């Protein structure tokens, strides 16, 4: 089994951007159009409800009854968001895997709609269901043991046990997420859905994998915040001042007119690029490390 460089993998998203500017540009344009459609759809479906939710969230000690009332009628938006997210990430993550693992297959800017994308969607569903199921099981275990500790030794013991077990549960979920991180690359590379294969392939490599993922996440946050500041400054310069800068970080989706302010238009135009850059930085390390572990010459991807 080959080894890999965690530092090299953490920076792989930046190299992909540098070496595939045309592809990144196409993805950004497509993502901008998709984001625009989604934003308009969200405003049309539940603009007033979203505004009410924001107002309730700003109030200290919000009223649960008012919150549930504001959520009435939002289920079409929730369903739409789930379907959209699954579809868009299945296509983009498959395109990313294709870019890293089959760099010569560049037709259509590496984007397709086919069996590979379908398998990626299934993997996304399965991995998230596994993590969610484990999360629910851990919540129940922590609650039961914490309650038992409180019954035996009083509230301090129950709180202490609950805190320790809660931290342990979060650590276990982190381990699970890292160990399953190759599932998408495996499905694309082998044409088979093999969740267990990711667990086996990452055995003994948790810490370097975690290091690569954490560094890439930190870099993505830095890029995200930097671009947000740039968007806010441009939006403010076009009109609106400080309020326009605030809108770049917290867009008003209560109505079309409130959303498409000068700052909102700038934010919308940059949204695709922002999303694609973050996606590449965060998700490129997994297929890159997978390729290295499989003995592929990853440098070919960046040539």
Please give the structure tokens belonging to residue 203.
């055995």
pLDDT at 151: 73
Q: pLDDT per residue over 226-277, tens digit each?
A: 988 888 777 777 765 556 556 666 666 667 777 777 777 777 888 889 999 9
User: CB–CB of 242/236 below 8 Å?
Assistant: yes
Please give the structure tokens belonging to residue 85.
């997210």
Domain ranges of the chain: 6-302
Q: pLDDT per residue over 46-74, tens digit each?
A: 666 666 665 555 555 555 666 666 666 67
pLDDT at 68: 64
| Cα angle value 28/111/37 (rounded, 5°) | 45
- Would you place residue 13 in the very low, low, confident or very high pLDDT band (cuts 50, 70, 90)? very high
pLDDT at 58: 53
Q: Is 110 left (phi over 0), alpha (psi -120 to 50) or beta?
A: left
pLDDT at 241: 58
Q: What is the pTM of this model?
A: 0.85
Higher pLDDT, 180 or 82: 180
Higher pLDDT, 107 or 149: 107
Q: pLDDT per residue over 68-99, tens digit each?
A: 666 666 777 778 888 888 999 999 999 999 99
- Would you place residue 301 in the very low, low, confident or very high pLDDT band (cuts 50, 70, 90)? very low
pLDDT at 200 over 70: yes
- Cα 1 vs. chain centroid, distance in angstroms? 29
Phi (first) and psi of residue 292, to 5 degrees = -65, -40
pLDDT at 122 over 70: yes
Task: Return d(Cα 84, Cα 33) in angstroms, integer.
Answer: 13
Task: Return d(Cα 247, Cα 266) in angstroms, integer.
Answer: 11
Tell me the average pLDDT across 199-215: 93
pLDDT at 208 over 80: yes
pLDDT at 242: 59
pLDDT at 44: 74
pLDDT at 299 over 90: no
Average pLDDT in the chain: 83
Q: What percent of the chain has pLDDT over 70?
A: 80
pLDDT at 288: 94
Of 24-33, 97-106, 136-145, 190-199, where does mean pLDDT reach its minimum? 136-145
């Amino acid at each position: 089994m080959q080894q890999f460089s965690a530092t090299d993998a953490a920076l792989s998203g930046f190299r992909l951007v540098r070496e595939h500017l045309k592809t990144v540009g196409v993805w950004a344009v497509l993502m901008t159009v998709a984001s625009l459609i989604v934003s308009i759809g969200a405003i049309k479906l539940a603009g007033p409800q979203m505004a009410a939710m924001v107002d309730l969230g700003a109030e200290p000690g919000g009223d649960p009854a008012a919150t549930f009332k504001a959520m009435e009628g939002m289920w079409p938006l929730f369903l739409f968001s789930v379907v959209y997210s699954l579809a868009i990430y299945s296509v983009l993550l498959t395109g990313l895997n294709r870019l890293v693992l089959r760099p010569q297959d560049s037709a259509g800017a590496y984007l397709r709609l086919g069996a590979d994308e379908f398998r990626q969607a299934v993997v996304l569903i399965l991995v998230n269901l596994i993590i969610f199921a484990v999360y629910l099981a851990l919540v129940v275990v922590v609650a039961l043991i914490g309650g038992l500790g409180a019954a035996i030794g009083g509230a301090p013991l129950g709180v202490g046990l609950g805190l320790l077990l809660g931290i342990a549960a979060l650590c276990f979920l982190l381990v699970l997420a890292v160990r399953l991180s190759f599932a998408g690359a495996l499905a694309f590379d082998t044409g088979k859905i093999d969740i267990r294969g990711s667990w086996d392939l990452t055995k003994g490599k948790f810490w370097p994998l975690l290091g690569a993922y954490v560094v890439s996440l930190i870099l993505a946050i830095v890029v995200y915040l930097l671009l947000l500041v740039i968007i806010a400054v441009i939006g403010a310069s076009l009109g609106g001042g400080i309020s326009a800068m605030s809108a770049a970080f917290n867009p008003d989706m209560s109505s079309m007119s409130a959303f498409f302010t000068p700052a909102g238009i700038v934010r919308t135009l940059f949204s695709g690029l922002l999303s694609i850059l973050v996606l590449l930085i965060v998700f490129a390390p997994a297929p890159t490390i997978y390729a290295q572990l499989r003995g592929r010459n990853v440098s070919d991807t960046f040539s």
